[in-house]
Structure 1
């Protein structure tokens, strides 16, 4: 990892208390289609904080103009607690649709003190010792852990979804300057092979995602930040 980036993150840590900060980020949603890479909709990430409890929501959907080409929506909710700087999940839900076809619709309740999680379909999953997150709250975990350990190149989490609990590796590939609305933004680039996920985390916004690239099946999606509000 670039030494300059390590120094910047270390400075930010020394001048800020490591704690979740409520925010809302609005994103443009792009998809690779037969017609090219198109801005087909919007996405919103909202983090709410109440004492040590967090509720993290995301909603992505195509605009009405593009629904005939690709009608997609996804709602996610992640609930948990921040304890000693660690993200501890207690609940996760997903509803994903393509047109009227429901691709995913499930909830997971996590009972950390008994080391298991239970899905809305009745399946139970064993949790091993260590940090457990979901596919949404992993953004929060990465933000916290990269700030605390700016010299590490790899972070491993237990990630829960409808298929169970898996150990996933997130690799810090280094620094990358990206341009959004003619503004240069210094980011840390993180990649997860298993999720086909690439994140650009803003160094000056507590390592919150400003660009998210995700491959879902045969479709590639990219979310690019257009507006960010802290303590909203």
Structure 2
């Protein structure tokens, strides 16, 4: 005999609730979870309880969807805000980079000018040191020249007084002595010329050496003259020279 849903009637010995739960695993899980009240007979669920459960689930899903939409909107707003902040920060960083590059260019230009200025300062310092050196050399040469001039003045005074003595000796001494005096006068004249040249060239050391040589030659000439005079006369000679104030033997 055909029964329910085109099949045989269910066997009365089988539990209708168990048969329903075996066909619907989802309903069985709901039954065991206790979320949906069971039928008072214990055989399955009531329609109202399933509808109430579905409505509650729908409300929960709607609430969750609303929360999800809100979170998604908030996330989109946060992402947009972060994007704007990132773009603004990138613009600020780009501005800072541009300013830093411009400042770097300015400092590079200042550095180049400082390098040129330093080079100019080095040249000026070298020129200053050179001028200071030349000034010191000039002062030294000037001092030496002044010293030589004083020596020359003294030598000129000595030569003048010596010429006076020589003029006196030419008249009163022998011809040999007169010739020696002429030779000495010539030597003195040459000495004066050489001393002037040395002074003009600021060669103080050579001039001093030469003056010492002059003194040595003068001593030799005086000794030679003394020998000639001693052979010419053995008596004292009255000396009228400005440099000789007493009677003495010529030496």
Q: TM-score range by the shorter chain?
A: under 0.3
Q: Which has the higher strand share?
A: 1
Higher helix share: 2
Q: Which has the larger radius of gyration?
A: 2
Task: Please report the TM-score for the alignment, with normalisation by the length of structure 2.
Answer: 0.19
TM-score by structure 1 length? 0.20
